[in-house]
Amino acid sequence: MTTGVPTTMRRVVVESQGIRVVTAPTPQPEPHEVLVRSAASGVCGSDTHAAHGRHPFVALPYHPGHEVVGVVAQVGTAVSALQPGDRVTVEPDLPCWDCKMCRSGRQNLCERLQFFGCGYAQGGMADYFTIDARRVHVLPDRLDLVDAALIEPLSTPVHAVRLAGGVEGRTVVVIGAGSIGLLLLRVVVAGGARRIVVTDPLPAKRDLALRLGAHAVVDATAEDASEQVRAALGESADVVFDCVAIASTVDRAIAMADKGGTVVVVGVPAADVSVPLAVIQDHQIRLQGSATYLPVDYADATALLVGGQIPVHELVTAVVPMDEVASAFAMSASGDHVKVLVSINPDLLERRSD
């Protein structure tokens, strides 16, 4: 073990009995890997779903922390593009690099995909972790680690907007004003959408959506929510981003996009839903899934943050010490917060004055 790196460390484990911090051996990097000292990791909706047994692809127990930023502590013998001291974030999908999807540049759809921090042997909610150097992105000097903690979650809506064909001059609906929905709102604002409506059941989230650039908001629990949205747009929606992905939101998304619109499923569904297939076919509605991101989305997300398009102070609503990680998960699931960060090594999180 390199001088200065301890032989044991803290790591978070999520079990059916709860969420706790345990002691584990500090991993050592393979030749193609880097060892990263974690600064902070965001709590994602997929984390809270998994903790409650509602994620379709993450079983308990698991080691969380895919929205992670930190500093390279050690590099493997075959790594030349990174060096100790580099400030980094992680692209957590771990492709095989050899299947049809990987060879075509769609490694987010790898046929043998693994996902760091989601059912993988390691996660970023640990003092240290190792990961393939190809999944590490060096951060611009102008971006501090608190801001950079939003790169991973921001890349998801960036990818979704790209799959929708962009939003410039188009009418857009965002269903769900959680962290992904609000980040998506900022992406479509930056992308030049002509008119944007956000739906959510919580008044505080609707108010925040208005502050972040929505032209109108609608109570998602209203029986006539779809009609209210169409009235607020003045027409049907060109694109609807469903960040909730349950039966009722899918039905409403299709109604909002009828006719000729696109529905992008961004949220992770907890169960299958039925759709009005005859309407989708006859009214030429496009139903598009959106899965994670690609390096181009990381680059675009980073550029949005560097350019000041993402109001981090409105979106990172709590930073919780790692020893209180169970509280961080509870806060994230409560609906009272947008993005909760777990501070792992707070000495790395000092905000930059420049």
234-276 pLDDT per residue, tens:
999 999 999 999 999 999 999 999 999 999 999 988 889 999 9
pLDDT at 120: 92
| pLDDT (0 to 100) of residue 52 | 80
Question: Predicted confidence band at 127 (pLDDT cuts at 50, 70, 90)?
Answer: very high
pLDDT(351) > 60 = no
Domain count, the chain: 2
pLDDT at residue 277 greater than cutoff 80: yes
323 — pLDDT class (breaks 50, 70, 90): very high
Rg of the chain's alpha carbons, rounded to an integer?
A: 20
Residue 144 domain-assigned (yes or no): yes
Q: What average pLDDT does this structure show over 297-303?
A: 98
On whether both 205 and 76 belong to a single domain, the answer is: no
Q: Are residues 128 and 185 in the same domain?
A: no
Please check whether residues 119 and 180 belong to one and the same domain.
Answer: no
pLDDT of residue 46: 82
The pLDDT of residue 56 is above 80: no
Let me know if residue 294 belongs to a domain.
no
Same domain, residue pair 180 and 251: yes
Assess whether 188 and 265 both reside in one domain.
yes
E-strand spans in the chain? 8-15, 18-25, 33-43, 67-75, 87-90, 93-94, 114-115, 128-132, 136-138, 171-175, 195-200, 216-219, 239-242, 262-265, 286-289, 316-321, 339-343
Residue 303 domain-assigned?
Answer: no
Does 115 lie in the same domain as 13? Answer: yes
What pLDDT score was predicted for residue 332?
A: 92
Longest dimension (CA), the chain: 66
19 and 127 inside one domain:
yes
* Inside any domain, residue 302: no
**What is the bridge-based pairing of β-strands 171-175 and 195-200?**
parallel
Angle at 210 between CA 207 and CA 216, to 5 degrees: 110
User: Does the structure show a pLDDT above 60 at 316?
Assistant: yes
Domain assignment of residue 189, yes or no: yes
Does residue 211 sit in the same domain as residue 224? yes
Residue numbers of the domain that contains 196: 155-289
Do 136 and 200 fall within a single domain?
no
Same domain, 12 and 142: yes
- Cis peptide, bond prior to residue 259, ω within 30 of zero: yes
Q: Evaluate whether residue 135 is within a structural domain.
A: yes
Same domain flag for 119 and 142: yes
- Residue at 297 is within a domain: no
Q: What is the mean pLDDT of the chain?
A: 94
Q: Which tokens sit at 178?
A: 């959680």
* CATH number, domain containing residue 225: 3.40.50.720
Mean pLDDT along residues 3-14:
92
Indicate if 328 and 261 belong to the same structural domain. no
Name the band, by pLDDT with cuts 50, 70 and 90, for residue 57.
Answer: confident
pLDDT band at residue 3 under the 50/70/90 scheme? low
User: Which SS3 state, helix, strand or coil, does residue 65 take?
Assistant: coil
- Looking at residue 108, what is its pLDDT? 96
For residue 70, what is the domain's CATH number? 3.90.180.10
Evaluate whether residue 242 is within a structural domain. yes
